[in-house]
Amino acid sequence: MIIAIINFLTLTISLFLFSFLYLLSIQPAKRSKKHGEKAWADCKKLRSVSGFFEMILLTDVILWIWFPLPLVNTWNISPNILVGVIVAACMIIPCALLMIKGIVDAGSETLSPSKETEMYGGIYNHIRHPQSAGEFPTFVALGFLVNSWFIVILMSIYIILYVPIMIFYEEKDLVSRFGEKYINYQAQTGAIFPKLRKQNPVSP
């Protein structure tokens, strides 16, 4: 009981710290106006620390298998745990491939933002946030993996609330970095899903 409560508290705190620190890390242009050149290196550090809390979060989710909260211990997806494992695999595999492709095409900018970075190509020609599109659904997939509707619901609510906020602040910073070029890119390219109909670019 006590271990389960500690695990849940660690999970929620790690989720908050990961989200907050990552949000700070994706705004280097804004931070540089106040902190100068060191803001870029600071954002790299913030991103690394946020990744550390993400790993704690994912570990806590896996530990849910053995230490679920008693109040939601019966919220099992299926009596057969293989059902959740199969659903999780069907989600994680394509999401991982999408995230890896995004990381490769973004290059060093994934972990180390730089003002010299040019706008990306590859998968970014089709969607603006492939890493997020691949990464965040895996949080829900882990809920299926640990056979818990509670984790699935919790992570789904988190994604619905957090991802639009993250995209808003990141893209506000990207517009500051790349200007009208990025605004035109937004008009032509979907954030999470490819656009079926593209808008006309903004005239210079």
DSSP letter string, 93-139: HHHHHHHHHHHHHHGGGGTS--TTPPPP-GGGGTBS-HHHHHHTHHH
Q: Is residue 67 part of a domain?
A: yes
Q: Which amino acid is at 56?
A: I
Q: Is residue 182 part of a domain?
A: yes
Q: Is the pLDDT of residue 201 over 80?
A: no
Report how far residue 166's alpha carbon sits from residue 142's, in angstroms, rounded to the nearest whole number.
21
Place of tokens 């989710």: 61
Q: Is residue 196 part of a domain?
A: no
Q: Is residue 140 part of a domain?
A: yes
For residue range 129-159, what is the model confidence (pLDDT) as tens digits? Answer: 999 999 999 999 999 999 999 999 999 999 9
Q: Is the pLDDT of residue 200 over 90?
A: no
Beta-bridged to residue 148, according to DSSP, are 76
Boundaries of domain holding 44: 2-188
pLDDT for position 194: 92
Q: Is the pLDDT of residue 1 over 90?
A: no
Report how far residue 43's alpha carbon sits from residue 25's, in angstroms, rounded to the nearest whole number.
4
Q: Is residue 6 part of a domain?
A: yes
Decide if 92 contacts 138 (C-beta within 8 A): yes
Q: What is the pTM of this model?
A: 0.90
Q: Is residue 200 part of a domain?
A: no
Q: Is residue 203 part of a domain?
A: no
SS3 state of residue 79? coil
For residue range 69-98, what is the model confidence (pLDDT) as tens digits? Answer: 988 888 999 999 999 999 999 999 999 999
The tally of domains found in the chain comes to: 1
- In this prediction, residue 189 has a pLDDT band, given cuts at 50, 70 and 90, of very high
Q: What is the CATH number of the domain that holds 81?
A: 1.20.120.1630
